Structure formats: C-alpha cells, structure tokens
Amino acid sequence: MLLSRRLTPLIALVAASAAIALPSAASAADAVDTTPLLSVVGQGTAFVTPDTADVSASVTRTTTTSAPAREDVARRTTALLAALTALGIPRSDVTTTSVNLTRETQRKKPKLRFTASVTISVHLTDAAKAGPTLDALTAAGADNVDGPNFGFSNPSAGAAQAEAAALVDARSRADAAASAVGLRVVGVRAIDLDPGSGIGAVPVASAGKGNSSTASAPTPTPVDNGRQTVTASVAVVFTLG
C-alpha cells in the first residue's frame, strides 16, 4: 500500500508531461515553409584576349642511307633551337614531340630510302611572339610550321565576368516571371555556379600561319590573337513575395 501511494504521483506527472509534449510536436509538424520559390537558369558571356600561344615545327630529310638523313635533321633541329633562343624563348618551353627514322624498300633503284624527321612544339607565354616565332623557325630551315593555337595563362580567365553576367540574366528573367504572376523577387535561396557542363571557350578569330615554302621571311607574318568568348551558366533559386 505504501509503494502504491508513492507511484501514484509519479504516474500522474508522466501523464501530464506527455499531454504537454504532444501538442508541441504537432505544432512543429504543421510548421511547413510555404514561401513561393522560382528556379531560373541564367546565361552570361565575356570576351577575353588570349595571352599564350603554341606553335610547332618539323624538319624532314630522305636519303639512300640513314646517316646523312639523320645528320641533316639533327643539324637543322639545332638551328631551330638556336633561333628560338635568339628570340628569348627558354628551352624549358620547347618540347621534342617526335624523332623518327624510317626505312622504305622500293622496286626501283635505289632499293632503300631512309627518312628522318624531328618535330618540336613551342609554348609561348607571350602571344605577341607568335608571328616572330613562326618566321624565325621558317628562316632557320623548318620544312613545316603549324600554329598558333592561342590560350590563357589563367585557365579561369573570363569566368568571373561571364558568371556575373549570367547572374544578372537570371535576376532579369526572375523579375519578369514573378511580375507575370503578380509577385516579386524578395530574396535568394540558393546559387549553383556550375549546373551543367561548365565553362567552354570558343575561338572567334583566326590567325595566319608561317610560310614554309621559302627559306626566309623578309615580310613579317601577321598574327592576331583576337578574342575568345567565355560562356557561363548559373542556376538560381529565388524567393518570391
């Protein structure tokens, strides 16, 4: 009987606590955010001038024995490297991309023909040197020159400007859509700067090549690096009111 008297107040307290907690939980479940949202994708473009360039050059010689072909190619490759050094291009920016020596058997005399070739690529940290580099390689004895392929020392060049333009576009579209349904943009819930495939660069200006048909280039080759377009897409979730 004494134990029963002690438990009775405790049971009553637990029951009262449960009764108080249940309405609180129900209120939390009923607190649903009904703020209207609008998801918009904006597009932006920026124009950026490339500041780097890549060019390549090759020398080739075919003879009836291997040694003369190899020696001629080695001599002219050395001349190409010297021409690049004279332009102030460090050897660390020059890469030998291929060295080849092939033998061909013919039915007619001479029976054997050997062809040696070397190809080098040059990375220019100053795009303005593209024209002089093509001319110097041609004058130094290159059989083929190719380029320039323009690029950016900063891979993200123009990205910030394009994204800023995309955000402005997204807000403009959101304002128009909200107004059409009698609402207005009152805030931003989320921003995604890379909702799709990301940023791409498309060349909009072409450039000339060096003339490999002559041994010298008295008239400088005109090379323009032009501009490239950088595009960006952003996804923005706006809150309306």
Q: What is the pLDDT of residue 151?
A: 94
Helix (H) or strand (E) holding 58: strand 52-63
In the chain, how many domains are there?
Answer: 2
Last-in-domain residue among 133, 151, 169: 151
Would 158 be classed as within a structural domain?
yes
Q: What is the pLDDT of residue 105?
A: 85
For residues 56 and 144, membership in a common domain is answered with yes
For residues 66 and 84, membership in a common domain is answered with yes
Q: Which residue from 134, 117, 143 is spatially nearest to 54, judged by alpha carbons?
A: 134
Chain center to CA of 25: 52
Which tokens go with 48?
């950026």
Q: What is the pLDDT of residue 210?
A: 40
Q: Which residue type, as a one-letter code, is found at position 38?
A: L
Last-in-domain residue among 151, 178, 202: 151
Would 40 be classed as within a structural domain?
yes
Greater confidence, 77 or 16? 77
pLDDT in tens, 54-101: 999 999 999 999 999 999 999 999 999 999 999 999 999 999 999 999
Q: Which residue type, as a one-letter code, is found at position 241?
A: G
pTM above 0.95, yes or no: no
Spatial distance between the Cα atoms of 120 and 77, rounded to a whole number of angstroms:
9
Spatial distance between the Cα atoms of 162 and 150, rounded to a whole number of angstroms:
20
pLDDT in tens, 181-219: 999 999 999 999 888 643 333 333 333 334 444 444 457
Query: Which range marks the domain in which residue 181 is found?
Result: 33-50+152-241
Would 27 be classed as within a structural domain?
no
For residues 124 and 191, membership in a common domain is answered with no
Greater confidence, 161 or 224? 161
pLDDT-derived band at 27 (thresholds 50, 70, 90) equals: low
> What separation in angstroms does the CA of 223 have from each of 8, 30, 205, 226?
97, 68, 11, 9
pLDDT in tens, 89-135: 999 999 999 999 999 887 777 778 999 999 999 999 999 999 999 99
CA angle (169, 174, 179) in 5-degree steps: 135
pLDDT-derived band at 8 (thresholds 50, 70, 90) equals: very low
Greater confidence, 120 or 31? 120
What integer is the mean pLDDT of 164-190? 94
For residues 43 and 58, membership in a common domain is answered with no
For residues 166 and 237, membership in a common domain is answered with yes
Greater confidence, 225 or 150? 150
For residues 73 and 112, membership in a common domain is answered with yes
pLDDT-derived band at 11 (thresholds 50, 70, 90) equals: very low
CATH, residue 84: 3.30.70.2970
Greater confidence, 221 or 71? 71
What integer is the mean pLDDT of 33-49? 92
Q: What is the pLDDT of residue 196?
A: 66
